[in-house]
Amino acid sequence: MTEISLAILGAGTFGLSTALAWRKTHPSARISLIDVKPSPLVRTEVNANNIIPASEDVGKIIRAAYASPEYAQLASEALEIWHSESPYRDYFHQSGWVVANELTEAEISITEGNPIGRERYEEAFPASSLDDGYVITEDTEPGWVEASKCLEAVLRVAMDQGIEYVSGEAVGLLWQESRCTGIKMRDGKEISAENIVLAMGPWTPGFLQKCGVAASIPCEVAGVTAVSVKLDENEYRTYKDMPILMIPGAGEIMPPDRNRIIKINNTTAFYAPDISSLKISTQENPYFEENMAMLRKFLPALSSVPVVVRRHCFDMVTTPAQDFVISAIPELEHLFVAAGGSFHGWKFLPNIGRYVVKMIEGTLHPPWTELWRIGGTPSEHPIHLEVMPRGSHATVDFRRRRVYCQPGNNNSPTINLTSFDHKSRLPRPGPSSHDVTSLAVFTMPHITRRLYTTATSSSPTSAISIASQFLATSQSLPPLKHTQLLDANQLHLLSATLSRPIPLPQGGTPLPACYHLAYFTPSQREQDLGRDGSDTTFNPPRPFTRRMWAGGELEWVAGKEKGLKIGQRVTETTRLVKAEGKRTRAGEEMVVVGVEKELENEFGVAVVDRRNWIFRPEIIVSKEPAHKPVEVPFPHGKYTREFTQTPVSLFRFSALTFNGHKIHYDKEWCRQIEGHRDIVVHGPLNLINMVDLWRDFNGGEVLPRKVTYRATSPLYGGEKYRIVMDEEKGKVTDVKIVDSYGQIGMVGQIESV
Ligand SMILES: Cc1cc2nc3c(=O)[nH]c(=O)nc-3n(C[C@H](O)[C@H](O)[C@H](O)COP(=O)(O)OP(=O)(O)OC[C@H]3O[C@@H](n4cnc5c(N)ncnc54)[C@H](O)[C@@H]3O)c2cc1C
């Protein structure tokens, strides 16, 4: 790995995480982390001066429950680290949370846990009582982290790893034409680096403006007020194990930290300050009285504890879904942004940097690229529904909530609030008129269901432009290389799966034509697979994520002697050679992606395998399962062979090829989501069976020179189909697969040597 230097402006959540992730991939690169905050080696008390960015805090909530599957996945990954890795786990407390919701049960838009009674509430919050009007729920999974303390510990780890911490205010950027080459500091110092990341939280848009960068990031800067109070020893003992208390429509009361400090957030007042000012976070708190009233109401025993901090703290919020901005800056080189924490970014301290690094290196995959790039497609699931300033010059009063807007900005979209079925935890269709607060919580299966059953997505971007951008990005990357042993066991198992059992093959046994399809299997982690379980290594950006195997051609360029054999170490090199936006006859847009794979043994390239996949838009509205057509007699041919694939044979083929695509084994998914009448037979399995029939009538171990094939219609498990093969004419044999209803599933031509 080349040692590419990196300068990161902002040592908050995003900046620090990025520095550590860059160190992992570039062990001896020069990394500078720049912040106006003093170095942890000299500061004694965080927040001692007026510089109090969002990352610095008494406590932050850590939760994995998100309505958006992308953020749910990201948060689960982070949570795992919060539980297991030092120093993160040393500051994390799995306290759970209790939600006191003023809405009636029927009205409750969000279920943040299981309903609990007054008794449990009073046990969790001693010496408190609650009016009858509240519905109370509890979830034990979330927790909180001692934010500033943890940030400081992580910063020390970074410095131990040789990351240079530069304390000072950045005032500009250095340029060589459109290439950003460094950062200019107020004291005149210049810090140059190969890549520059702006991770300045809410200061980012103002800084870019100041530097004369024309690109604008669609975002708002919004704020939350907080008060911290200090308990005495007795009070601390009483409340130290309390869960987080969430009061939708009002705010949160955090458990006390080890300094006996309780923080009360008031989430009813968001406004956009002057983004050009550095003092975005201030120690003023215009809603101080409201914060204190909340404490008096919910924890009356603490009514007169001394106040130690008043804050008004800001974050950069993107519109309309509070996605992060992790992106290159258009038309400028080597300049990137990682910001837009949108009041939920802190929990990703352990892992967000990995994604920033991938973005810089051009290896970040969808959906992240699309969610986070400047001008990308926002998530369908707003993270918090109340943080966005709405309208221009407007002061909106939703019940008890005030939302102030930055003057002059009338681009803030209105968020359609969706109401949720309390029992099923599923959204009710259609927008609701009432204001809802805080967090939408679903379990993962419901998330999937919702994604595939409601039509709320924004209109897809054109397939042609997505395809050309995707092609340009993919072709700028090096080809994927994968070396493996052609092991005997895999061939043995594949033969058994095809009902052509053989004894365990010896080294040197030739690999039958197309059997390489069971080697070089994809190796993505489950969380990186598509929602339909498919491998996403070559997926174009959303919405074109529904993959189908369309066809291709294979050439055995080295012939039989120098061909692939058991026991060889073979390298597969894969290049993306094509991405084209197209339309089906019915007018549906799609992206056709072509890859070329070369399989190379000790003699050189033995097989070239070019294959095409069609990527259709992801399913927004589930399709009705198709009915079985009327059976018709099979066509005749010179050679024929019939198959009925069982769920077991398809499962075994999926397992052998490490293929998680649900269409091959999940009948419910096939019928209820994708509109297939049953599980779908794998394209490669059909190809192998077709070529096997040809082999069987051409002397067994023979290799063809070339095979071309096209999948024309799905073939289904449990349904009989027939391979029909003609007589060879001029070295070419036509083959097709026809189902019991007269539908052609695949056509191919096999050319002999
Ligand atoms: C009140 C509040 C409560 C929140 N609660 C939670 C929660 O419970 N859970 C959760 O997950 N998230 C929460 N968040 C969100 C989370 O805190 C933020 O999303 C996250 O910390 C943002 O990190 P950042 O690195 O983008 O920005 P910041 O933390 O703002 O860091 C930016 C850094 O850039 C530096 N900087 C800016 N300009 C310059 C300059 N010119 N020169 C040098 N340095 C500069 C600043 O000093 C700062 O350190 C909350 C946010 C707020 C405001």
Which of 737, 621, 634 is CA-nearest to residue 672? 621
617: β partners: 544
Q: Which amino acid is at 16?
A: L
Question: Can you tell me the mean pLDDT for 593-597?
Answer: 95
> What are 511-538's pLDDT values in tens digits?
999 999 999 999 888 878 888 899 988 8
> 37 CB under 6 A from ligand 1?
yes
> 60 CB under 6 A from ligand 1?
yes
Residues near 709 by beta carbon (within 8 Å), at least 6 away in sequence: 551, 552, 553, 687, 690, 746, 747, 748, 749
100 Cα–ligand 1 center, Å: 27
> 55 CB under 6 A from ligand 1?
yes
By mean pLDDT, which of 272-276, 692-696, 710-714 is the weakest? 272-276
Residues of the chain above pLDDT 70, percent: 83
Nearest-CA residue for ligand 1 atom 4 is: 343
Give me the pLDDT at residue 456, please: 27
pLDDT band at 623 (very low <50, low <70, confident <90, very high): low
Cis peptide preceding 320, ω within 30 of 0: yes
Distance CA 387, CA 262 (A): 23
Calculate the CA 44 to chain-centre distance: 38
Residue 120, CA distances (Å) to 137, 264, 481 in order: 10, 22, 57
Residues 12 and 199: beta-carbon distance below 8 Å: yes
Distance CA 51, CA 204 (A): 15
For 510, phi then psi, to 5°, come to -65, 140
Residues near 584 by beta carbon (within 8 Å), at least 6 away in sequence: 590
By mean pLDDT, which of 24-28, 29-33, 429-433 is the weakest? 429-433
Residue 602, CA distances (Å) to 157, 574, 598 in order: 46, 18, 13
Which atom of ligand 1 is nearest the CA belonging to 37?
A: 47
Distance CA 269, CA 405 (A): 11
Residues 560 and 615: beta-carbon distance below 8 Å: no
Calculate the CA 75 to chain-centre distance: 10
b/e per residue 593-626 (b: at least 16 CB within 10 A)? bbbbbbbbbeeeebbbbbbbbbbbbbbeebeebe
pLDDT at residue 250 is higher than 70: yes
Tell me whether strands 219-230 and 170-176 are parallel, antiparallel or unpaired: unpaired
> What are 327-351's pLDDT values in tens digits?
999 889 999 999 999 889 999 999 9
Sign, Cα dihedral of 524, 525, 529, 532 = positive
Nearest-CA residue for ligand 1 atom 27 is: 201
Give me the pLDDT at residue 71, please: 87
Across the chain, what does the average pLDDT equal?
82
Of 19-33, 99-113, 213-227, 308-322, the range with the highest mean pLDDT is: 19-33
Give me the pLDDT at residue 216, please: 76
The vertex-150 CA angle with 145 and 152, nearest 5°, equals: 155
The three-class DSSP label of residue 24 is helix
> 199 CB under 6 A from ligand 1?
yes
User: 16, 50, 60, 221: which to mutate for ligand 1, most atoms within 8 A of CB?
Assistant: 60
Give me the pLDDT at residue 734, please: 96
Distance CA 14, CA 18 (A): 6
Residue bearing the bigger pLDDT, 390 or 106? 106
User: 151, 203, 311, 348: which to mutate for ligand 1, most atoms within 8 A of CB?
Assistant: 203
pLDDT at residue 427 is higher than 70: no
> In the block, which residue shows the tokens 């109370």?
136
pLDDT at residue 677 is higher than 90: yes
Calculate the CA 328 to chain-centre distance: 18
> 53 CB under 6 A from ligand 1?
yes
> What are 146-193's pLDDT values in tens digits?
999 999 999 999 999 999 999 999 999 999 988 999 999 999 999 999
Q: Which amino acid is at 428?
A: R
- Domain residue ranges in the chain: 6-372, 463-751
> In the block, which residue shows the tokens 């290389």?
481
Which atom of ligand 1 is nearest the CA belonging to 185?
A: 42
The vertex-550 CA angle with 549 and 551, nearest 5°, equals: 105
pLDDT at residue 500 is higher than 90: yes
Residues near 15 by beta carbon (within 8 Å), at least 6 away in sequence: 8, 9, 33, 35, 197, 199, 200, 338
Which of 244, 621, 256, 293 is CA-nearest to residue 439? 244
pLDDT at residue 45 is higher than 50: no
pLDDT at residue 423 is higher than 80: no
Residues of the chain above pLDDT 90, percent: 55
Give me the pLDDT at residue 76, please: 86
Cis peptide preceding 87, ω within 30 of 0: yes
46 Cα–ligand 1 center, Å: 14
Residue 485, CA distances (Å) to 489, 504, 513, 565 in order: 11, 16, 17, 10
Question: Can you tell me the mean pLDDT for 1-14?
Answer: 90
Distance CA 389, CA 414 (A): 9
Which of 316, 130, 132 is CA-nearest to residue 221? 316
Which atom of ligand 1 is nearest the CA belonging to 348?
A: 11
Q: Which amino acid is at 702?
A: V
Residue 361 corresponds to which tokens in the numbers above?
Answer: 């290196």
Quote the crossing angle between the two packed helices 352-361 and 13-25, to the nearest 10°.
60
750 Cα–ligand 1 center, Å: 61
Nearest-CA residue for ligand 1 atom 50 is: 343
198, burial (CB in 10 Å: exposed 0-12, middle 13-18, buried 19+): buried
Which atom of ligand 1 is nearest the CA belonging to 170?
A: 42
The three-class DSSP label of residue 561 is coil
pLDDT band at 94 (very low <50, low <70, confident <90, very high): very high
Q: Which helix (H) or strand (E) holds 429?
A: strand 427-431
User: 224, 315, 327: which to mutate for ligand 1, most atoms within 8 A of CB?
Assistant: 315
pLDDT band at 704 (very low <50, low <70, confident <90, very high): very high
The number of CA neighbours under 13 Å toward the Cβ of 455 is 5
Quote the crossing angle between the two packed helices 444-453 and 69-84, to the nearest 10°.
160
The domain over range 463-751 is classified in CATH as 3.10.129.10: yes
Distance CA 672, CA 676 (A): 8
> 201 CB under 6 A from ligand 1?
yes
pLDDT band at 679 (very low <50, low <70, confident <90, very high): very high
598 Cα–ligand 1 center, Å: 47
Which atom of ligand 1 is nearest the CA belonging to 338?
A: 26
> What are 116-151's pLDDT values in tens digits?
888 899 999 999 878 877 888 888 888 999 999 999
pLDDT at residue 444 is higher than 70: no
Residues 580 and 510: beta-carbon distance below 8 Å: no
50 Cα–ligand 1 center, Å: 14
User: 16, 32, 35: which to mutate for ligand 1, most atoms within 8 A of CB?
Assistant: 35
Residues 55 and 147: beta-carbon distance below 8 Å: yes
pLDDT band at 459 (very low <50, low <70, confident <90, very high): very low
Which of 44, 99, 671, 8 is CA-nearest to residue 335? 8
User: 17, 33, 57: which to mutate for ligand 1, most atoms within 8 A of CB?
Assistant: 57
> 352 CB under 6 A from ligand 1?
no
Give me the pLDDT at residue 383, please: 72
Distance CA 111, CA 423 (A): 9
Which of 211, 214, 210, 291 is CA-nearest to residue 247? 291
pLDDT at residue 402 is higher than 50: no
By mean pLDDT, which of 37-46, 157-166, 401-410 is the weakest? 401-410
Distance CA 678, CA 625 (A): 8
287 Cα–ligand 1 center, Å: 21
> 11 CB under 6 A from ligand 1?
yes
Give me the pLDDT at residue 44, please: 43
Provide, for the chain, the percentages of residues in helix, strand and coil under a 3-state DSSP scheme, each rounded to the nearest 5. 25, 30, 45
708 Cα–ligand 1 center, Å: 55
Question: Can you tell me the mean pLDDT for 367-385?
Answer: 82
Rg of the chain over Cα atoms, rounded to whole angstroms, equals 30
Residues 309 and 169: beta-carbon distance below 8 Å: no
392 Cα–ligand 1 center, Å: 25
Distance CA 679, CA 667 (A): 5
Domain 6-372 fold is FAD/NAD(P)-binding domain (3.50.50)
By mean pLDDT, which of 384-393, 476-485, 662-671 is the weakest? 384-393
What 8-state DSSP symbol labels residue 729?
B
Residue bearing the bigger pLDDT, 39 or 733? 733
> In the block, which residue shows the tokens 């046994």?
509
Give me the pLDDT at residue 425, please: 26
By mean pLDDT, which of 227-231, 247-251, 297-301, 388-392 is the weakest? 388-392
pLDDT band at 584 (very low <50, low <70, confident <90, very high): confident
pLDDT band at 284 (very low <50, low <70, confident <90, very high): low
The three-class DSSP label of residue 691 is helix
Quote the crossing angle between the two packed helices 69-84 and 352-361, to the nearest 10°.
120
Question: Can you tell me the mean pLDDT for 231-243?
Answer: 96
pLDDT band at 268 (very low <50, low <70, confident <90, very high): low
